[in-house]
């Protein structure tokens, strides 16, 4: 584990190109953090949410407003934390119905937050500093005097945040609070009877999850996009993150990374594939085919291993441990 982190900090900057940073590594890391956030809610606490994009938008725009209106605090760590905290507050608000609504009813109810937040950032002018259609831009990013300009710098900053976030998440889910989430997930009535308070358990899950998602949203906006509009966080983003969680494996942090890698890499691969075989296609046809293959791959992976890549990984590790003498 440590080796991977060290390699990511030291070895990757030696070999990576700007394309690799901006198109693969940065999206992968940021969306991994978002996937971890959603996984806490869906995989550990069992509350299906389709509002991830909305919470990312809250993180992004809250961070933007702090960055814009309080120039003294022009420190990305503070800005991102603020974005996360605001997202957590909104998450708690939209988590309240989960006390009464369950299952798919809740999933659809969380769409309310998605559409409402989309609308909010498109229409309420103050939040987007009176720019047309809510498209805003940021520049001059720094952390304690360190200017984060090149893709390599951004990568290192993101990597740092994601590593810290993952460690926090790991410790949370292993501790008392994580166990209470899992108890509620496995059977909420039983959990309530043995003394877990559903209000606190579910709302902390919503808060922690939204915090991670909000930080990821702020990073996505500041470090990946630089200039964005509410459309960057629409419902497709929600589904994308949910795909990562499901494909990676519900209730698995390493699965969140795998799912994110899969979902980030696959469209790029699909895009390149015809070129490698020398087939030329119109972009429209290519994007339709991409949809098709993407959908088919999702179904395929669900059939092969409904518990996600994390389970496949665990099984492979088990097998390799005994290999070549399995008996």
By CB under 8 A, name the binding residues for other proteins. 42, 48, 97, 100-105, 107-109, 111-112, 115-116, 118-119, 122-125, 133-134, 187, 189-190, 193, 235, 239, 242-243, 246, 250, 284-285, 287-299, 302-303, 306
- 77/99 with CB nearer other proteins: 99
Q: Which residues contact 227 (CB under 8 A, 6 or more apart)?
A: 135, 136, 137, 138
Q: In the complex, what is the shortest distance from the CB of residue 7 to other proteins, in angstroms, rounded to a whole number?
A: 32
- 133/150 with CB nearer other proteins: 133
Asked if residues 50 and 256 have their Cβ atoms less than 8 Å apart, the reply is: no
CA–CA dist 195, 172 (Å, integer): 19
Q: In the complex, what is the shortest distance from the CB of residue 29 to other proteins, in angstroms, rounded to a whole number?
A: 24
CA 145 vs. chain centroid, Å, equals: 27
Asked if residues 205 and 44 have their Cβ atoms less than 8 Å apart, the reply is: yes
Q: In the complex, what is the shortest distance from the CB of residue 117 to other proteins, in angstroms, rounded to a whole number?
A: 9
Q: In the complex, what is the shortest distance from the CB of residue 148 to other proteins, in angstroms, rounded to a whole number?
A: 31
- 153/290 with CB nearer other proteins: 290
Q: In the complex, what is the shortest distance from the CB of residue 192 to other proteins, in angstroms, rounded to a whole number?
A: 9
Q: Checking DSSP bridges between strand 146-147 and strand 136-137, what pairing results, if any? A: unpaired
DSSP 8-state secondary structure symbol assigned to residue 10: I
The label of the residue with tokens 């976030």 reads 165
CA 97 vs. chain centroid, Å, equals: 22
CA–CA dist 249, 176 (Å, integer): 22
- 226/295 with CB nearer other proteins: 295
- 103/275 with CB nearer other proteins: 103
- 5/187 with CB nearer other proteins: 187
CA–CA dist 34, 28 (Å, integer): 10
DSSP 8-state secondary structure symbol assigned to residue 299: H
CA–CA dist 189, 195 (Å, integer): 10
- 85/298 with CB nearer other proteins: 298
The pair phi, psi for residue 18, each rounded to 5°, is -55, -40
Q: In the complex, what is the shortest distance from the CB of residue 142 to other proteins, in angstroms, rounded to a whole number?
A: 31
Q: In the complex, what is the shortest distance from the CB of residue 215 to other proteins, in angstroms, rounded to a whole number?
A: 25
Q: Which residues contact 141 (CB under 8 A, 6 or more apart)?
A: 76, 147, 148, 149, 222, 223
Asked if residues 216 and 59 have their Cβ atoms less than 8 Å apart, the reply is: yes
Q: In the complex, what is the shortest distance from the CB of residue 176 to other proteins, in angstroms, rounded to a whole number?
A: 22
- 101/168 with CB nearer other proteins: 101
Asked if residues 208 and 92 have their Cβ atoms less than 8 Å apart, the reply is: no
């Amino acid at each position: 584990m440590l080796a991977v982190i060290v390699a990511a900090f030291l070895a990757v900057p030696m070999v990576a190109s700007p394309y690799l940073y901006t198109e693969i590594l940065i999206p992968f890391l940021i969306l991994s953090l978002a996937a971890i956030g959603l996984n806490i809610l869906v995989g550990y606490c069992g509350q299906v949410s389709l509002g991830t994009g909305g919470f990312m938008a809250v993180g992004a725009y809250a961070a933007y407003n702090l960055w814009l209106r309080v120039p003294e605090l022009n420190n990305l760590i503070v800005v991102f934390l603020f974005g996360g905290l605001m997202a957590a507050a909104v998450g708690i608000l939209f988590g309240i119905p989960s006390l009464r609504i369950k299952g798919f009813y809740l999933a659809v109810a969380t769409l309310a937050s998605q559409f409402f937040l989309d609308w909010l950032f498109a229409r309420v002018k103050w939040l987007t500093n009176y720019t047309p259609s809510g498209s805003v831009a940021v520049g001059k990013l720094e952390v304690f005097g360190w200017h984060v300009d090149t893709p390599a710098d951004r990568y290192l900053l993101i990597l740092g945040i994601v590593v810290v976030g993952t460690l926090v998440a790991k410790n949370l889910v292993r501790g008392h609070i994580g166990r209470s989430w899992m108890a509620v997930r496995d059977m909420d009535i039983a959990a309530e009877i043995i003394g877990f308070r559903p209000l606190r358990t579910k709302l902390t899950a919503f808060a922690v999850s939204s915090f991670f998602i909000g930080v990821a949203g702020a990073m996505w906006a500041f470090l990946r996009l630089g200039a964005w509009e509410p459309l960057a966080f629409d419902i497709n983003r929600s589904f994308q993150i949910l795909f990562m969680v499901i494909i990676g494996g519900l209730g698995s942090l390493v699965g969140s990374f795998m799912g994110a890698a899969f979902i980030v890499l696959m469209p790029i691969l699909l895009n390149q594939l015809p070129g490698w075989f020398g087939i030329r296609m119109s972009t429209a046809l290519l994007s339709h085919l991409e949809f098709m293959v993407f959908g088919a791959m999702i179904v395929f992976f669900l059939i092969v291993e409904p518990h996600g890549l994390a389970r496949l990984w665990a099984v492979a590790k088990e097998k390799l441990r005994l290999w070549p003498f399995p008996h």
